[in-house]
């Protein structure tokens, strides 16, 4: 059974960096048949896919255009986890942040088949 456990601060000051970690159990961040996503949800912006990282002989990442200049998603193979860093945050970045797994099964990718518990991050001074 895959479990994703999120951690990180719930309050970030404007202009600072939002950092969250998603610890994986029951799978490997280096799996060739998985990808690791960050998604957020707010009343004003709804659900928003932020980006993902995955390993296929080397590490790749994809990011949403809306945050591409400010985001980094990094795998940590030593701890079997991955992280989100979002720079220069504003109150608009206040949201519940989720990590989620994609699973590749044959020719099909099952998007977001497992989710973390969600982390409310508030951007405020």
Partner 1 sequence: QAVVTQEPSLTVSPGGTVTLTCGSSTGAVTSGHYPYWFQQKPGQAPRTLIYDTSNKRSWTPARFSGSLLGGKAALTLSGAQPEDEAEYYCLLSYSGARVFGGGTKLTVL
How many residues sit close enough to partner 1 to count as binding (CB under 8 A)? 21
CA nearest to 101, candidates 78, 82, 119, 121: 82
Q: Which stretch binds partner 1 (CB under 8 A): 11-19, 24-32, 42-50, 81-89?
A: 42-50
Q: Which residue has the tokens 């193979």?
A: 77
Q: How far is the C-alpha of 96 from the C-alpha of 113, rounded, in Å?
A: 18
* Contact track, partner 1, 67-96, x by CB under 8 A: ------------------------------
- Residues 16, 19, 48, 87: which binds partner 1 (CB under 8 A)? 48
CA nearest to 37, candidates 23, 51, 27: 51
Tell me the closest approach of the beta carbon of residue 16 to partner 1, in angstroms: 25
Residue 36 makes CB contacts below 8 A (sequence gap 6+) with 22, 24, 29, 52, 53, 54, 73, 75, 82, 99, 100, 101, 102
Nearer to partner 1, 32 or 66 (CB): 66
Tell me the closest approach of the beta carbon of residue 83 to partner 1, in angstroms: 19
Q: Does 111 bind partner 1 (CB under 8 A)?
A: yes
**Residues, the chain:** 125
Binding residues for partner 1, rule: CB under 8 A, are 46-49, 62-66, 98, 100, 108-113, 115-118
């Amino acid at each position: 059974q895959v479990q994703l456990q999120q951690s990180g601060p719930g309050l970030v000051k404007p202009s600072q960096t939002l950092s969250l970690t998603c610890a994986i159990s029951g799978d490997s961040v280096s799996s060739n048949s998985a990808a690791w996503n960050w998604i957020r949800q707010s009343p004003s912006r709804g659900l928003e896919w932020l980006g993902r990282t995955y390993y296929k002989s080397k590490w790749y990442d994809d990011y949403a255009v809306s945050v591409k200049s400010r985001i980094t998603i990094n795998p940590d193979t030593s701890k079997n986890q991955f992280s989100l860093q979002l720079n220069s945050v504003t109150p608009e970045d206040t949201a519940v942040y989720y990590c989620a797994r994609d699973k590749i099964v044959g020719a099909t990718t099952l998007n977001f088949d497992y989710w973390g518990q969600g982390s409310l991050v508030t951007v405020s001074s």
